[in-house]
Structure 1
Amino acid sequence: MSTGMGSSLNNSVLLVEDDPGIGRFVTRGLAAEGFSVQWLRGIGDVPRQLAGADYAVLILDLMLPDGDGCSLARYLRDAGQMIPILMLTARDSLDEKLDGFRNGADDYLSKPFAFDELLARVKVLARRGSAGPERSHRVVADLAIDVRAREVTCAGRVLSLTRREFELLLYLARHAGEVVSRERILYGAWGNNAELTTNTVDVYLGYLRRKLKAHGSETEIVTVRGQGCRIGLAPSSGQDHDAAPEA
C-alpha cells in the first residue's frame, strides 16, 4: 500500500457511483493509495453520511438512479456543506462542465478516465479541504456535539439520544438560527428513506424537545408557523410572536 498521503491529512473519501465496475475500480485504487472509501450507489444517504462523518472529498457521479449529481451538489452548497466535490460524468460538453461548476463542483472528470488522473485530482482536493475549518465538533447554545463520537453533552453531562435523534439534532445544529422546513430536515437528516415522512420529523422533534427539557438544557427548538423550525438559545423571557409552541 502506498503511503503517499501525509499522516495529518484526512484520507476519507465518499464515493457516489452506481456503476459497479467503476465503483470497484475507484474504491480499490484509492484504498491501495491509503484512502478510506465509503461507496454509495445513490444520492439518498449522502447528506446523512456527510453529517455523521468527516470526509475529505466527495466523488459524485452526475447521473444516478435516484437523482442527479448537480442537484445534490447545489443542495449541499445551499445547506452550507463545503466538502470539495469531484464530479464524474460520461458527458464531456463545456456547457455541462460549466453547469457542474455553477452548482458547486470543485473539479470535473470525464469518463473514461485514467486512475492516476483521478488520484491526482483527489489529492489536490483533499489538501484544499484540509485547510478548511474543523468540522468534527459543533456547538449550539449550551450543547456540544462530537460528530465523530456521535455524542452530545450539555453542561458536561451526556445527553442520551437515539441514532435518528442525533442525526436530527446535528442537522439542526448545522443550521442554528436558521428556519428550516420539514422537507429539508427529512432529506438532510435522514436521506431519501421512503419509510420516513414529514410526520416523522414532527415526532422526533417532539422527542428531542422533551429530552432537552428534561436535561435542563437552555437550547430551544421553535416552530415557526408555515415555515418550519429553528434551534437556538431559549429567550430569557417571553416567546417570539410568530413562533408556535411544540408541534
Structure 2
Amino acid sequence: MMGTVKPRVLVVDDELGVRRALQRGLSREGMDVVVACDGPNALRIALTGTFDLILLDIMLPGLSGYRVLERLRAEGVRTPVLLVSAKDGEVDQADGLDLGADGYLVKPFSFVVLVAQVRATLRRGAEDGVGRTVRIGDLVVDRATREVRFAGVQVALSPREFAVLDVLANRAGTVVTKDELLRAVWGDEQAATRNAVEVYVGYLRRKLDTAGAGGIVRTVRGHGYLASTSEIDEALDPARPR
C-alpha cells in the first residue's frame, strides 16, 4: 500500500510528445515523474537507484533500452523496469525478460492499461522489498515508505527534498556533484538548473537542522554535496584527524 507517498517513476522515450503525455498522465495519477530522452542519460539517471519504477523504451538514441537494462542489472540496480516498444515479437519480449525486465508494453497501448501495469509492478516491488533503509548516524532514510527519521522522530520532506536526500544518502561518504543531483532528481526536465539543486539542498538542510540533524548534508566547495557523519569519515579515512 502506497498511502500518500508518491512513487518516483523514470520515463525514458526519445519522442517529446510521448514523454510529455506520460509525464502529465502519471503525475495526475499521483506519481513523481522524471524524464529522459536517450540511452546514455537514462543510464546515468537510473544508476542512482532512486526510482520505484522505470518505463524504458527500447529504441533509443545512443544506447538501446536493452543495453540500459543490461547495465543496470550488471551494476546491481534492482529498480523494476517495464520495457516499452513498437516491437511485439515473442523473441523481443523474451530478450527483455531474460535481461531482467519486469514487464513489457507494446505500442500503441491504452493509458489505462499502462497505469494498471505500472501500479501492479509498483506493488510487486514493494512486496519484494526493493525499497531499502539507509542509515547515516541517527538519520534513517526508508525508501520503501519514503519516510525519514532522526533519533526516532519523523522528518517531513516534500517528494523532491526526499529525492535529493535519497541520492546523497545512497552515496554517503562520497561527494555528489550538482550535475549528478540534477540528473538523478530532475532528469531531462528543461526548466531545471543547478540553481534548483542549490534551492532544494537549502530546503533540505533547513528541515534537517530543525530536526537536530544539522551537519549531515554538507557543501564541498567547488565539487558538490556530501552526506556523512564523523563515524563515516573515520571509516573511509582512518588517518583523518577527528
TM-score (norm 1): 0.57
Distance change >3 Å, CA 66–CA 38, structure 1 → 2: same
Residue aligned with 2:39, SS: coil
Match of 1:218 in 2: 235
Once the 2 structures are TM-superposed, how far is the Cα of residue 10 of structure 1 from its aligned partner?
A: 4.7
| Number of aligned residue pairs | 169
Q: Alignment partner for residue 137 of structure 1, among 134, 137, 142?
A: 134
1:22 aligns with 2:22: no
Where do 5+ consecutive residues of structure 1 fail to align?
A: 153-157, 168-211, 221-233, 235-247
Distance change >3 Å, CA 8–CA 91, structure 1 → 2: same
Match of 1:89 in 2: 85
Aligned partners of 2:85, 2:124: CA distance in 1, in Å? 22
Question: What letter corresponds to residue 131 of structure 2 in structure 1?
Answer: E
Residue aligned with 2:55, SS: strand
Question: What letter corresponds to residue 137 of structure 1 in structure 2?
Answer: V
Question: What letter corresponds to residue 234 of structure 2 in structure 1?
Answer: S
Residue aligned with 1:44, SS: helix
Aligned partners of 1:59, 1:71: CA distance in 2, in Å? 14
Q: Alignment partner for residue 77 of structure 1, among 73, 79, 92?
A: 73
1:107 aligns with 2:103: yes
Aligned partners of 1:93, 1:166: CA distance in 2, in Å? 36
Question: What letter corresponds to residue 236 of structure 2 in structure 1?
Answer: T
Q: Is the 8 A contact 1:53 1:148 kept in 2?
A: no
1:59 aligns with 2:76: no
Q: Alignment partner for residue 163 of structure 1, among 151, 174, 177?
A: 177
Q: Is the 8 A contact 2:173 2:233 kept in 1?
A: no
Larger Rg computed on CA atoms: 1
Once the 2 structures are TM-superposed, how far is the Cα of residue 54 of structure 1 from its aligned partner?
A: 2.5
Residue aligned with 1:63, SS: coil
1:128 aligns with 2:124: yes
Q: Is the 8 A contact 2:6 2:32 kept in 1?
A: no
Match of 1:224 in 2: none
Match of 2:45 in 1: 49
Residue aligned with 1:18, SS: coil
Once the 2 structures are TM-superposed, how far is the Cα of residue 117 of structure 1 from its aligned partner?
A: 0.5
Distance change >3 Å, CA 151–CA 97, structure 1 → 2: closer
Residue aligned with 1:65, SS: coil
Once the 2 structures are TM-superposed, how far is the Cα of residue 123 of structure 1 from its aligned partner?
A: 0.3
Note the alpha carbon deviations across 1:196-246, whole angstroms, 9 max, x for none: xxxxxxxxxxxxxxxx9xx962326xxxxxxxxxxxxx7xxxxxxxxxxxx
Match of 2:160 in 1: none
Where do 5+ consecutive residues of structure 2 fail to align?
A: 142-162, 182-228
Aligned partners of 1:22, 1:33: CA distance in 2, in Å? 16
Note the alpha carbon deviations across 1:55-90, whole angstroms, 9 max, x for none: 111000001011101111011011110011000001
Which is helix-richer, 1 or 2? 2
